[in-house]
Structure 1
Amino acid sequence: MASVAYFFLAILAVASAAPEGRIVGGEHVTIQEFPYAVAYTYLYPGPGITVQRCVGTLVSSFHVLTSAFCFTGANLDNMRIRAGSTNSLSGGTVVEIDHVVKNPGYVETPRAHDIAVTFLKTPLGISNVINVLFLPPPNSYIADGQSVKVVSWGFESESGPQLETLKTVFLNKLSLADCQAVYGDTESVEISDVVICAAAAGKGMCLGDSGAPMVINNAIVGSSSFFKGCLDDEFPDIFTRVDRYTNWILEVAASGGRKAEIRVAPSL
């Protein structure tokens, strides 16, 4: 477990550039249970500190799906992807990033279309601790009240400490109308049909969870994008709704010259 001082040194090194989000109120799990989850680690050269910055979902041996916001102020030369480890900062397989394609509609403020495809320099081998998730079929139906699973690493509160082991949490999907009503007075995020709002009492996202996958069955249906207060039950967490971008993801992957198949689930 990293110390609180460890975290704040890293934050001071990059001021306000570090992405948001980490799981609060979840249960510890192992990478064998969630082999598609990968950690984006980042080296801050000044203090010489490496932190787990974001989370991603392996959708092929060459492609990782995450939040476009993850790369705010980031130098890709200082970023790596760690796969196949329950611990975000040790073990597993570490690979370099070749390039990143952000959705062309991405806007940081108000946060919108917050999704990106990461291309790896070398492919990850599939094993019992490294595996892929299906994409959802385009325009899938996800009922209000549906229980959804989110997996991530990191902080349980805004003041730390940082947890390095994988955790999961179950949230419930809210209706778009209810979510729009709650966020009606904020200009920080756009609540529209391309997001999923989800919440559960005492549970949710916190600092560093950007890109954490929301899963139904064997498909990634959401990617953590925005939260307001780590323990603020008034505001649901906002996830980019992946089925609205399935075709775009497939097109981006195909245009990147990597011969690795991204699979689409037949149904949710």
Structure 2
Amino acid sequence: MVFNMSLLPLVVLLFAGCALASSNRIFGGEETTIEKYPYIVQVEMYHSGTWNQGCGANIILRDWVLSAAHCFEGRYYRPEFNRIRAGTTYRHQGGFIHYVDFERNHPEYGVLATYDADISVVKLTTPLVWSPTIQKGTIVPQGYVLPDNTPVVHAGWGYTASWRPSTVLQHVEIYKINNSLCTERYKELLGPSVSPNMICAGLLDIGGRDACQRDSGGPLYAGNVIVGIVSWGYECADARYPGISTKVSSYTNWIIQNAR
């Protein structure tokens, strides 16, 4: 696992499907390639006789990926019904399949707030093989504070403005939004609350860009460093209520201790 202490200050460069639901999304983005983001993988889930991409994840070691806890829990969740597809630009096509051995969801998931600590390290049954399209990602150091208004990027195969998953990897640039402002806005909805362990990002009072359905567990990048994990939010690309990602820097030490 690689950490970059110099990180994001030099960079001035999604989340739930229905209102206030955990996300499984790229809205307002454009097509890109896996060569630009070789650290991202698809999470596919088996249901009713077929495999379907439902979340994203991030490579942190040859046999470990980082994702959202809500992608690896629930009444019907079984590790053997989950796998990842690595090294391909295209949803459900190409690349390499690796099955899930087990997951470690953060023990405080949902304790402080409904989606607080929405983060999981996931062990694969077989190791990834490094290549130009499969690479280990860099995660942010413990305690790092991402400045407000920093440009950040989502990537994934989630819903686009057509309200269907994208067949091609998408990316979109947005901005980190002040946590206190984000918290106050979400209080208006009387639903899940925003905690200090979350990052809000979007185009405030403009909207139109975001992660969306099926982007959950995927990355929020700042300078190609993974600073967030797509978690939840209100609608997709809403102007008033930004998308919310788990703040990786709150859990970096936990990730290092548990992804082994």
Which bin holds the TM-score, normalised by the shorter protein?
A: 0.7 to 0.9
Do the aligned partners of 2:72 and 2:105 also contact (CA within 8 Å) in 1? no
What do you get for the CA RMSD once the two structures are aligned?
1.7
Distance 2:199 2:158 in 1: 22
Do the aligned partners of 1:154 and 1:209 also contact (CA within 8 Å) in 2? yes
List runs of 5+ in structure 1 lacking aligned partners.
Answer: 1-17, 255-268
Residue in 2 that maps onto 1:56: 57
SS at match of 2:92: coil
Q: 1:133 aligns with which of 137, 141, 149?
A: 137
Distance 2:158 2:182 in 1: 26
Q: 1:222 aligns with which of 228, 234, 242?
A: 228
Higher strand share: 2
Do the aligned partners of 1:22 and 1:205 also contact (CA within 8 Å) in 2? yes
Cα distance, 1:113 vs structure 2 = 0.8
Q: 2:167 aligned with 1:161, yes or no?
A: no
Residue in 2 that maps onto 1:195: 198
Q: 2:115 aligned with 1:114, yes or no?
A: no
Letter of the 1:145 partner, please give it. N
Do the aligned partners of 1:114 and 1:225 also contact (CA within 8 Å) in 2? yes
Distance 2:201 2:224 in 1: 19
Do the aligned partners of 1:211 and 1:225 also contact (CA within 8 Å) in 2? yes
Distance 1:107 1:185 in 2: 20
Residue in 2 that maps onto 1:90: 93
Cα distance, 1:160 vs structure 2 = 3.0
Q: For residues 31 and 233 of structure 1, do their structure 2 counterparts lie closer, same or farther at Cα, with a shift above 3 Å needed?
A: same
TM-score normalised by the chain length of structure 2: 0.85
Cα distance, 1:75 vs structure 2 = 2.2
**Partner deviation per Cα, 1:153-178 (whole Å, 9 max, x = no partner):** 12115x73222210001110111111
**Partner deviation per Cα, 1:23-48 (whole Å, 9 max, x = no partner):** 11111001011000000011212xx3
Aligned-residue sequence identity (percent) comes to 33
List runs of 5+ in structure 2 lacking aligned partners.
Answer: 1-20
Cα distance, 1:187 vs structure 2 = 4.9
Do the aligned partners of 2:154 and 2:211 also contact (CA within 8 Å) in 1? no
Q: 2:106 aligned with 1:103, yes or no?
A: yes
Letter of the 1:193 partner, please give it. P
Q: How many pairs align?
A: 234
Residue in 1 that maps onto 2:212: 206
Q: 2:38 aligns with which of 35, 59, 63?
A: 35
Q: For residues 244 and 135 of structure 1, do their structure 2 counterparts lie closer, same or farther at Cα, with a shift above 3 Å needed?
A: same
Letter of the 2:215 partner, please give it. D
Q: 1:76 aligns with which of 52, 74, 79?
A: 79
Deviates more, 1:163-172 or 1:210-219: 210-219
Cα distance, 1:127 vs structure 2 = 0.5
Letter of the 1:59 partner, please give it. I
Residue in 1 that maps onto 2:257: 251
Distance 1:186 1:115 in 2: 24
Q: 2:149 aligns with which of 145, 150, 159?
A: 145
SS at match of 1:181: helix
Distance 1:190 1:59 in 2: 29
SS at match of 2:61: coil
Do the aligned partners of 2:237 and 2:243 also contact (CA within 8 Å) in 1? no
Superposed structure 1 runs of 4+ greater than 4 Å apart = none
Do the aligned partners of 2:24 and 2:71 also contact (CA within 8 Å) in 1? no
